[in-house]
Structure 1
Amino acid sequence: MPQGSSQLHRVVVIVDENSNPFELGCATEVFGLRRPELGRELYDFVLCSPEPRTLMRDGFFTLTGVAGLEAADRADTLIVPNRPDTDVPRRPAVLDAVRRAHARGARLVGFCSGAFTLAEAGVLDGRRATAHWQWADSFRARFPDVRLEADVLFVDDGDILTAAGSSAALDLGLHLVRRDHGAEVANSVSRRLVFAAHRDGGQRQFVERPVPDVPDESLAPVLAWAQERLGETLTVADVAARAAVSPATLHRRFRAQIGTTPLAWLTGERVALACRLIERGEDRLDVVAYRSGLGSGANLRALMRRETGLSPSAYRKRFGG
C-alpha cells in the first residue's frame, strides 16, 4: 500500500460454513485491531459470509452480524475460507467471489486449507502454494497443476499467498504487514501479539523438538546475544563458541529448534536490521551495510532484494521516514 494514501487498504475475510476459528482469529488479530500505539490504523477490516448465520467448525459457535458476500467485491486483500473437511466442495458463490477478486487484481490469501478454496476457484494453476502437511498428498492428487511446496511455513507468490496453517497464519499475516508497512510496524504488531517478529516462509512446517539431554538447551540466550552484535564481525563459529558447542552441534540445534541454519538466521536478522535503519532515515547505504553487519553496499543490495523483493532505494521510497 503506498505511503501517504488517504484510503486504508481493505482486508476482507470470507467466513463460510465449518470455517476454522483459529485462522479467523489470526486474521482479526493482525488486520482487525486498532493500533493506538502506532498513532494510526493500518487496515480497514471486514468479515463477510454468504449466509446471515454461519456455523463455525464442529458447531463451536455461530457467527452472525457480518457483511454479506458482496463485501468481497470491495476487498484489496481477500482472505478465503478454510475448513477441515477439504473433500467437500466450496459453494459456487464463494468461488465466484474469489475469481472476481482475482480478475480485478485483489491480493488473495489462503490460511491452512484455504489453499483448497483457491485451487477450486482455479486461480492457483501453474502457481506456487502451500497447505498443511497432512493434506499434501490429497492436494496434489486433486490439483496436479499447482506447484505445491508442502514443507514450508508460507508461500508468497506475489498476488496470491498461502500459509500452512495454525501459527503459520500469523507468520504470513506479519509478512503482509511487513510488505505493506515496513519492518518497524511489523515488529510493533508482533510485540503486541507476543509473537516472533520474523520467521522466513521457507522454514519447515514441522520442527522437531526432542527432549533435551541437559536441563536447558534453549537457543534464546545465544540468539539475544547475537542480535546485540549484528554489526560486528560475527560468524557462525562465534555464535557456536558463545553457546559452548561445536558449529556442527549448533547447526543441528538451529535445525531442530527453529527450522533454519545459523547462517540463514544471521543473514535474516541483519537484513531486518538494515530495513529498520532505512526506515529510521539512514540514507547512506555504506553506513546501513556496516551497521547491520552486511559489509558492503553490493551485498546489502543483493540480500535485501532476495529477502524483501525490494532494492534499498525502493525500500526507502516505500517505507523510509
Structure 2
Amino acid sequence: MHIAILALDGLFDTGLAVTLDTLRAANGLAARTMGGSPRFDVSTVGVRKRVRSGHGFAIPVEPVTPDLKPDWVIVPALAATTPELLLPALERADVKDAVRQLQKWRAQGVSIGASCIGTFLLAEAGLLDHRQATSTWSLAPLFRQRYPHVLLDESRMLVPTDIGVTAGAAMGHLDLALWLVRKSSPELAALVSRFLLADIRTSQAPYIIPNHLAQADPLIQRFERWARDHLKEGFSLQHAANALATSTRSLQRRCQEVLGKSPLAYFQDLRVERAQSLLHGSGLDLGAIAAEVGYEDGATLRTLLRQRLGRGVRDLRAGLR
C-alpha cells in the first residue's frame, strides 16, 4: 500500500511524527515477527519544495507530480489551534493548492484521510459534503458553521466513509495510523498497539470540555452558565429560554447550529461532566452524586455515564479515560 503524507507549512509536528513512526513500526514488526515484507510504502510529499513544521523544522518532501497516484493520502493537521489562527491559514496559497490537489486525487479514486485540523482541508475541498465525519472537538462549532453540509459528529474518534476516513483531535493521528494498519492486518495492528502502548479509542466524548465549546457563541455561553446553576433541577426548555430572554425556538436553533445537539443534550453533557468531577474528587456515593446532578437514583446515572463515556463507575473513580 502506497501512502503519501501531504505536508504543509506550519503542520502539527507530533501529528506527522506519530503517523510516520506508527507506519514504520508496523513495517518493522511485520518483517521481524510475522515473516512479511513491509506493508506500507510511505512518502512525504508537498505542494511546495520547502516545508517547515509548526516548530520550524525543515521537512524533506517529494514534489507532487502528475503521475503520483498513491493508494492513500494522509493530511496531518496544521498547528493552528484557534479560529483566529486557522481561518487565515485556510486562505494561504499553498493550502488552496493542496485543496485542489486533494480534489484531483479523489477524482482519480485515491482514498484520503485526515486527523484533527487536517479534516478542515477535506471539508474545504468539498469531499465531506453530505458525508459523516469527525474532527477536533475543540473547533467543532467553527467546523459546523463553516461546513453546514457535513454530517459532523465530534464525539467519534474515527469515521470511515466511501472517500476515506476522518479522525479526531491531536492524537487522533495515532488512531488514524493504527486504523490503516488494521485494514492491512488486525493482528499486526494489535501488535503495533502493544509496542506503542497505544489503546484503541472509539470516542472523543470523555475528552470534550463543554465550557470550551460554549465560548463559540454568546447565547450558548449564557445558557451554559444558567444550566450549571440548575443541574439539580429537571430540565425545562421554557424556563431556560425565559431566563435567557430568548425564545425556545431560538435556543434550540442556536444549540443545533453551534453544538450540533439539542439544549437538553447539552444540559446532560454538563451533568455528566459534573458527575465525573464528583466521582474523581469527592467521597460521595453514587446515589448522592446522582442527586447533585438532578437524577433520582444512581442506576440512571450509571447507565448514562456508560452510554456517554464508555466506562463504568469503577473505572471513572480510578481516573481512567
TM-fit CA distance, 1:176: 2.3
Aligned residue number for residue 206 of structure 1: 208
Counterpart CA distance in 2 for 1:22 and 1:71 is 29
TM-fit CA distance, 1:143: 0.9
Aligned residue number for residue 193 of structure 1: 196
Counterpart CA distance in 2 for 1:137 and 1:24 is 25
Counterpart CA distance in 2 for 1:72 and 1:180 is 25
Q: What amino acid is aligned across from residue 135 of structure 1 in structure 2? A: L
Q: Kindly provide the CA deviation profile for residues 229-285 of structure 1, in whole angstroms up to 9, marking residues without a partner as x.
A: xxxxxxxxxxxxxxxxx97787577578xx3156xxxxxxxxxxxxxxxxxxxxxxx
Aligned residue number for residue 63 of structure 1: 59
- Paired residues in the alignment total 218
Alignment of 1:1-321 (within 5 A): 9-33=1-25, 34-35=27-28, 36-40=32-36, 41-57=38-54, 59-64=55-60, 66-70=61-65, 73-83=68-78, 84=80, 85-87=85-87, 88-89=89-90, 91=94, 92-182=96-186, 184-196=187-199, 198-201=200-203, 204-206=206-208, 210=277, 211-213=280-282, 259-261=309-311
Aligned residue number for residue 242 of structure 1: none
TM-fit CA distance, 1:99: 0.8
Instruction: Provide structure 2 residue ranges, at least 5 long, that are not aligned to the other structure.
Output: 210-272, 284-297, 313-321
Q: What amino acid is aligned across from residue 190 of structure 2 in structure 1? A: N
Counterpart CA distance in 2 for 1:38 and 1:213 is 48
Counterpart CA distance in 1 for 2:204 and 2:8 is 29
Q: What amino acid is aligned across from residue 192 of structure 1 in structure 2? A: F
Structure that is richer in helix per residue: 2
Q: Is the 8 A contact 1:164 1:205 kept in 2?
A: no
Counterpart CA distance in 2 for 1:129 and 1:172 is 13
Larger Rg: 2
Counterpart CA distance in 2 for 1:20 and 1:72 is 28
2:165 match: secondary structure: strand
**Shift in CA distance, 156/72, structure 1 to aligned 2, threshold 3 Å:** farther
TM-score (norm 2): 0.60
1:16 match: secondary structure: coil
**Shift in CA distance, 72/143, structure 1 to aligned 2, threshold 3 Å:** farther
Counterpart CA distance in 2 for 1:72 and 1:16 is 20
Aligned-residue CA RMSD (Å): 2.8
TM-score (norm 1): 0.60
